[in-house]
Structure formats: structure tokens, C-alpha cells
Amino acid sequence: MNNFTSLEIEVAETLLRLGMLLGLILLIAFFVAAELALVSADRHQTRQPARLRDPQNAKTAELVHQAQNNI
């Protein structure tokens, strides 16, 4: 019976580690997708709101432009 309990603990630890690994992979994938969205954003599309004189959109467009230059 002791060997069976030990095996259950090992299986539980392995499943926990696999779950944590999957969670970290998904988190990294989210940040990679966010970076890809910033890099591939069309500069014309991001600067167009700035031309419309909307202060909030102009600030966002400027931040995206700066991020593209830094990447």
C-alpha cells in the first residue's frame, strides 16, 4: 500500500508540474502576441487618430510609435 501512495504522489507532482508548464507557456504566448501586434501595427493607422485631434487616441498612437521604434 505504501508503494501505491508513493506512486500517487509522484503522479500528482508530475501533473502539477505539467500544469504549471502549460500555464507559463500560455502566459509567454500572450506576451509574444502582444509584442507582435505592436510591431505589425501599420504606422499610418496608428498616426491617423493623431490627425483627427483626439487627445486620447493621439497619445496612444504616440506610445505605439515609440514602442515600434524601441523594438
Q: Which residues contact 64 (CB under 8 A, 6 or more apart)?
A: 38, 41, 46
Q: Domain residues for 68?
A: 41-71
Q: Which cell numbers in the block locate residue 57?
A: 487616441
* Per-residue pLDDT at 37: 83
Q: How many domains does the chain have?
A: 1
In a domain, residue 9? The reply is no
Rounded to two decimals, the pTM is 0.56
In a domain, residue 57? The reply is yes
In a domain, residue 35? The reply is no
DSSP classification of residue 53: T
In a domain, residue 58? The reply is yes
* Per-residue pLDDT at 64: 73
In a domain, residue 64? The reply is yes
In a domain, residue 8? The reply is no
Per-residue pLDDT of the chain (71 residues; tens, 9 = 90+): 577 788 899 999 999 999 999 999 999 999 999 988 877 776 666 666 556 666 776 777 777 777 767 76
Q: Which residues contact 60 (CB under 8 A, 6 or more apart)?
A: 46, 49
Q: At what angle do helices 2-40 and 55-70 cross, to 10 degrees?
A: 110
